Amino acid sequence: MRIALLTYSTRPRGGVVHTLHLAEALARAGHRVTVYSLARGADAGFFREVDPAVTVRLAPFPDRPGESVTDRIVRSIATLREFVDPDGFDIVHAQDCISANAVGRCIRTVHHLDDFTTPVLVDCHEKALTTPYAHVCVSEAVAAEVRQGWGLAPTVIPNGVDHARFAEAAGPGAAAVAARVRWRRTLGPYVLAVGGIEPRKGSIDLLEAFALLRRRRPDLSLVFAGGETLFDYRDYRAHFDRRCDELGLHPVVLGMVPEGDLPGLVAACDAFAFPSTKEGFGLAAMEALAAGRPVVARDLPILREVFGPCVDYAGSVPELAHLLESALSADPARAGEGRALAASLTWDAAAAAHLRFYVDHSGGHLGQPPPAQMNAD
**Distance between the two ends of the chain, CA-based, in angstroms?**
20
Residue 13, pLDDT score: 87
Of 104 and 222, which is predicted with more confidence?
A: 222
β-pairing, 190-194 with 221-225?
Answer: parallel
> How far is C-alpha 161 from the chain's CA centre?
11
Q: How far is CA 109 from CA 138, 154, 282, 344, in A?
A: 8, 9, 15, 21
Instruction: Using pLDDT thresholds of 50, 70 and 90, give the confidence band for residue 141.
Output: very high
Rounded to 5°, the CA angle 188-192-193 comes to 155
Share of the chain above pLDDT 70, in %: 95
Residues constituting the chain: 377
pLDDT score at 363: 63
Per the CB < 8 A criterion, the answer to whether 282 and 253 are in contact is no
CATH fold of 2-160+346-371 reads: Rossmann fold (3.40.50)
Q: What are phi and psi of 109, to 5 degrees?
A: -95, 125
pLDDT band at 74 (very low <50, low <70, confident <90, very high): very high
- Determine phi and psi for 253, rounding to 5 degrees: -110, 105
Burial of 243 (0-12, 13-18, 19+ CB in 10 A): middle
Rounded Cα–Cα distance for residues 152 and 145 (Å): 10
Query: What pLDDT is stored for residue 228 in this prediction?
Result: 67
pLDDT of residue 41: 83
Rounded to 10 deg, the angle between the 283-290 and 14-28 helix axes is 70
pLDDT of residue 365: 52
| Confidence grade of residue 313 (pLDDT, cut at 50, 70, 90) | very high
Sign of CA dihedral 249, 255, 258, 260: positive
Indicate the CATH number for domain 163-344. 3.40.50.2000
Cα(99)–Cα(328) distance, rounded to whole angstroms? 41
How far apart are alpha carbons 2 and 199 in whole angstroms?
A: 38
User: If we measure between CA atoms, which residue out of 348, 16, 310 comes closest to residue 157?
Assistant: 348
136: pLDDT strictly greater than 50: yes
* CA 32 – CA 24 distance, rounded (Å): 10
**Least confident residue range of 78-92, 187-201, 224-238, 318-332:** 224-238
C-alpha dihedral (271, 330, 160, 171), degrees to nearest 10: 80
d(C-alpha 159, C-alpha 285), whole Å: 12
State whether residue 211 is helix, strand or coil. helix
pLDDT digits (tens, 9 = 90+) for 160-198: 999 999 999 999 999 999 999 999 999 999 999 999 999
The CA distances from residue 370 to 359, 362, 373, in Å, are 11, 6, 5
Please report, for residues 111, 152, 192, 244, 308, the alpha-carbon distance to residue 92 in angstroms, rounded to integers and kept in the order given: 17, 19, 37, 45, 33
Kindly report, as residue ranges, where domains of CATH 3.40.50.2000 are found in the chain.
2-160+346-371, 163-344
State the pLDDT at residue 371: 41
Question: Please, what is the average pLDDT of the chain?
Answer: 93
pLDDT tens by residue, 278-311: 999 999 999 999 999 999 999 999 999 999 999 9
If pLDDT is split at 50, 70 and 90, which confidence band does 364 have? low
Q: Are strands 252-255 and 2-6 parallel, antiparallel or unpaired?
A: unpaired
pLDDT computed for residue 351 by the predictor: 98
Over residues 212-261, the pLDDT tens digits come to 999 999 999 999 999 767 677 889 999 999 999 999 999 999 999 999 99
Give me the pLDDT at residue 362, please: 79
Neighbours of 62 (CB within 10 A): 9
| Residue 233 or 110, more confident | 110
